[in-house]
Structure 1
Amino acid sequence: MTQSSPPRHAVVIGGSLAGLLAAAVLAEHASVTVIEADPLPQGPAPRRGLPQGRHTHLLWSGGARAIEGILPGITADWTAAGAIRRSLPTDLVTKTAKGWLPRYAEKQFNISCSRDLLDSVVRTRVAALEAVTVLQRSRVRALEGTADRVTGVLVDTPEEAGVRVAADLVVDASGRGSRARTWLQELGVDGIRQAEVDSGLVYATRIFEAPAGAHEAGFPIVNVQSDPRDPVPGQTATIVPIENGRWQVTLSGTRGGQPTGDPEAFIPFAKGVRDPIVGELLEGKKPLTDVAVTQGTANRRVYFEKAELPDGFFAIGDSVATFNPLYGQGMTVAARGALAVRSLLASKDPAGPGFGRAAQRALAPQVAMAWDLATSQDILYPGATGARPRAGAGLLDAYVNRLTTGATTHEPLTAALFDVLTMNASPTHWLRPSVVWHVLRASDRGALTGPPLTGAERTVAGLDQGTGPVGAADLTR
């Protein structure tokens, strides 16, 4: 937009993380109204429209770097509020499908905290932007315009129903429950394709008081993953240290092996996954909450980028795609998508012809990468529904399987694994000659045979003093 251009106005539907980040990038070029159905809390508190916020959320470094690019200094703001920056794999004790990973020096990182804290810090920053207005307790009823151009939204506010809000650009960030396909159909836009892969996953979370001294000692994230190639329901258990001296513990199970809300069954379930370490760490710890259970976790993708969208509209975040939450991709996909839109805005007018379609295409590669990673695993579980792997996928799967095996013993492959999992690189990174060379020589010789907790960590957690059975790989922090 040039200095002589008329003022622009954008509407963002939804005050989600995706919506807030979209508002932040658009605020550099337009005034922005964020329309949110919920009353937004002051500070880190639950929000009705984000029920999955009760569960573990890890923001991968690919997402943290993207948000830092949009809101400089945000990482420092998170840590000042109590979030923990975790080195990967140094601060991670994880059993992958192919075994325990050594705790090498930092390759990537994540931000560990409650979703309430993470969102509240971003919300405070975005709401303070001069160009941003947040309209709370208001619900979008429909898009205004035609099949050629969206010109605004129809909103029910606390004071009045059916208020017309004009806009040069409308961004749908209303999440998993988005009605954008219906709204567009009402304008005459048809043929927007949707895909779904559902493993039947259920996840359950409970917060515990961390042992005295655990946070000060930098107690690691502890995670036991499932193996989708084993023809049984996939079950996982994860401990994430979060703010205020707490452990956020999430269990999950696919169809036929799901956890329940029974508090008496929580620790036994954790002990019953591929390694009992999470359940053992929870023994004797004080629970601070009831068990929160969430179902309806299917991977779902709407192919907006392949449709003939009207000018003045695009969608972002969970409105475009939702993923199995165990992979921790949703926030990072939204952040990297917003950053891609920001780059587009450097050369294109947000009110100009074709901007919405260009924005939708710009964020599509991030969605596609996460979709392929999540669904290629989830479809392997017993009873999973959805599209089966494409022809030739077996060969690629065997290659990734070998890479993951090598990551248990070979530092360059551990680095390559985290580069992609944290969404700092696309999966094609795994096909670079330098990575292929290491994969061809990969083996699990000398792999760890037990969780690589240090003696000090076992002591602070109240476990026995031994380090447990391990292999030759380095356990140092």
Structure 2
Amino acid sequence: MKETPSRTAARAVVVGGSIAGMLAAAAVKDHVGSVEIIEAHDLPDGPGPRVGVPQAAHLHLLQSGGAEAIDGLLPGVLDQLLAEGAHRIPMTTNTVIHSPEGWYRRWRRATHYLVAASRDLTDHVVRETVLKDPRVRVRPRTTAVGLLGDRRQVTGVRLHADGQGETELTADLVVDASGRASRTPQWLARLGIGGLRRDRIDSGLVYASRIYRAPVPTRDWPMVAVNADPRLPRPGNAGGILPIEGDRWHVSLMGAPGGRPTRDADAFEPFARTLRHPVVADLLAHAEPLTEVSVTHSTANRRSYYERLASWPEGLVVLGDAVAAFNPVHGQGMSVAAQGAAALRDLLRDGPAGGPSAGLARRAQRAVARPVDLAWALAVGQDIHFSTTTGRSPNLADRLLHRYVGRLSRTATGSFRAATALTDVLTLQAPPVTLVRPDVLLAALAGPLRPQLDGPPLTAAEHHLLNSAPKRPR
């Protein structure tokens, strides 16, 4: 059975009801007559867990570059997210970060921000906003099993729904936002399009996470992170505390082969004490665990270079984790998906009315690749320097760049200019090339202007709140 759109209105099909899928729907809905979101599972009515998102148990944050992209796609959604309990954390004013080069200062002037919330809440607010539009609807318990069309033009998708067998759904534009499990490489091969280059770079990191009742009000409480140092002769491990809605802390610990965390709840806080500084463990001693420990091994950086293919069909765009998935320690996934969706929206907005124009799909795929390029350079540029990493080893240029960025990071512990330059890039709002601007080079050459801190830069008020909170009985 085949369903076709009317002759007067274009139809878009989005594969995947993830946040990337919802943002893709937001990107295209004003430029087509209708949007069909194909989702393999039921979607929750509220801010509950969504089936098929195991990484939701771990820390999620929106870099300011991604947050602004989402608010551009869905005006007002950030205000709604904050109204429902998310935190807007100014950087570096409210971040306590122990880098391999030392503690970053909490400069009084905030230049960027993070949005911190549980993944369930972020998904819910974005999903609810998108689905208010009557042009967008979801087909739950339905799986996309192939593409319609040929190597020149994709004309829809083949679907399999529970109890209904296989059907065909035609469309003027198909967007694959199905995540790491994307089947687009296989679907393209069936259309006769081969030669896709794919990379997989894996540091072997394992994530263990749980949620705690915070011992203090979390409004204006800082994000706390202890980063791994690849130079140390030990397995790289890291950890962080992110304040989320409901006066809770979302805590994630990470460890490489030879020093990985486990699901053992009794071992969670002792593992936190093995980090390069015990601040995370010290804070958790005052907090009450609310969940068991969730663990994931799926932390490899994976990328498909669709934008480099010699042949690309009209009517198909891939974005989000279906293009590139990152080691979650870098906090880039949602932001890159949002920037990719915004790039697609911009191309549709600047094109002729009535739906996708000729050549749009290739232009969109190249536009989607630009924020991916930035995030990929940041993630891989860090992960390749750990001895446990497979898939690529650092070459001479990588090592020289790593030494320079390390010097710049050390400078950032005592230089507002260097800290701002690094934050511009880490929040996905400037390309890495900005780190070699003359003023930044001079700052790195001069080194930090203030002495390094000898401990975490918690304020006197934060120390007082923490010290007045009783420690949890053991």
TM-score of the two chains, using structure 1 as the length reference? 0.93
Which of 4, 11, 19 is the equivalent residue of 1:9?
Answer: 11
Q: Is the 8 A contact 2:239 2:280 kept in 1?
A: yes
Q: Which amino acid aligns with 2:231?
A: R
Q: Write out per-residue CA displacement over residues 110-165 of structure 1, whole angstroms, 9 at most, x where no aligned residue.
A: 10110000110000110111321111111111111111111100111234121110
**Partner of 2:362: helix, strand, or coil?**
helix
Deviates more, 1:74-83 or 1:443-452: 443-452
Q: Write out per-residue CA displacement over residues 415-444 of structure 1, whole angstroms, 9 at most, x where no aligned residue.
A: 111111011111111122222221111137
Q: Is the 8 A contact 1:232 1:382 kept in 2?
A: no
Indicate whether 1:185 and 2:189 are aligned: yes
Q: Is the 8 A contact 1:231 1:381 kept in 2?
A: no
Which of 201, 209, 214 is the equivalent residue of 1:210?
Answer: 214
Q: Which amino acid aligns with 2:308?
A: K
Task: Report the CA distance between 1:317 and its aligned residue.
Answer: 0.2
State the match for 1:78 in structure 2: 81
Task: Report the CA distance between 1:393 and its aligned residue.
Answer: 2.3
In 2, the alpha carbon distance for the partners of 1:100 and 1:317 equals 32
Aligned CA distance change for structure 1 residues 79 and 419 (closer, same or farther; 3 Å): same
Structure 1 outlier segments of 4+, above 4 Å:
none
Which of 422, 427, 430 is the equivalent residue of 1:425?
Answer: 430
Task: Report the CA distance between 1:365 and its aligned residue.
Answer: 1.2
State the match for 1:109 in structure 2: 113
Q: Which amino acid aligns with 2:205?
A: L
**Partner of 1:176: helix, strand, or coil?**
helix
Pairs within 5 Å for 1:63-462? 63-104=66-107, 105-211=109-215, 213-216=216-219, 218-307=220-309, 308-348=311-351, 350-443=355-448, 446-462=451-467
In 1, the alpha carbon distance for the partners of 2:252 and 2:468 equals 20
**Partner of 1:396: helix, strand, or coil?**
helix
In 2, the alpha carbon distance for the partners of 1:383 and 1:236 equals 15
Q: Which amino acid aligns with 2:285?
A: E
Q: Which amino acid aligns with 2:326?
A: F
State the match for 2:4 in structure 1: none
Which of 49, 52, 57 is the equivalent residue of 2:55?
Answer: 52
Q: Which runs of 5+ in 2 are unaligned?
A: 1-6
Task: Report the CA distance between 1:343 and its aligned residue.
Answer: 1.3
In 1, the alpha carbon distance for the partners of 2:78 and 2:100 equals 31
Q: Which amino acid aligns with 1:355?
A: L
In 1, the alpha carbon distance for the partners of 2:336 and 2:377 equals 13
Q: Which runs of 5+ in 1 are unaligned?
A: 466-477
Q: Is the 8 A contact 2:208 2:261 kept in 1?
A: yes
State the match for 1:473 in structure 2: none
In 1, the alpha carbon distance for the partners of 2:279 and 2:203 equals 25
Q: Which amino acid aligns with 1:381?
A: F
Q: Write out per-residue CA displacement over residues 252-297 of structure 1, whole angstroms, 9 at most, x where no aligned residue.
A: 0122221111111111111110000100111142110000001121
Q: Write out per-residue CA displacement over residues 286-331 of structure 1, whole angstroms, 9 at most, x where no aligned residue.
A: 1100000011210000011111221111100000001010100111
Q: Is the 8 A contact 2:62 2:114 kept in 1?
A: yes
Task: Report the CA distance between 1:54 and its aligned residue.
Answer: 0.9
Aligned residues: 459
TM-score of the two chains, using structure 2 as the length reference? 0.94
Q: Which amino acid aligns with 2:18?
A: S
Q: Which amino acid aligns with 1:456?
A: A
Q: Is the 8 A contact 1:36 1:139 kept in 2?
A: yes
Task: Report the CA distance between 1:353 and its aligned residue.
Answer: 2.5
Q: Is the 8 A contact 1:138 1:155 kept in 2?
A: yes
Q: Is the 8 A contact 1:56 1:114 kept in 2?
A: yes
Q: Which amino acid aligns with 2:244?
A: I
In 2, the alpha carbon distance for the partners of 1:441 and 1:319 equals 42
Aligned CA distance change for structure 1 residues 415 and 28 (closer, same or farther; 3 Å): same
Q: Is the 8 A contact 1:255 1:382 kept in 2?
A: no
**Partner of 2:374: helix, strand, or coil?**
helix
Q: Write out per-residue CA displacement over residues 360-402 of structure 1, whole angstroms, 9 at most, x where no aligned residue.
A: 0011111011111111211111221012235422222222111
Deviates more, 1:129-138 or 1:240-249: 129-138
Q: Which amino acid aligns with 1:365?
A: R
Task: Report the CA distance between 1:409 and its aligned residue.
Answer: 0.3
Among all aligned residue pairs of Structure 1 and Structure 2, give the percentage whose two residues are the same amino acid. Answer: 46
Q: Is the 8 A contact 1:255 1:384 kept in 2?
A: no
Q: Which amino acid aligns with 2:87?
A: I
Q: Which amino acid aligns with 2:115?
A: I
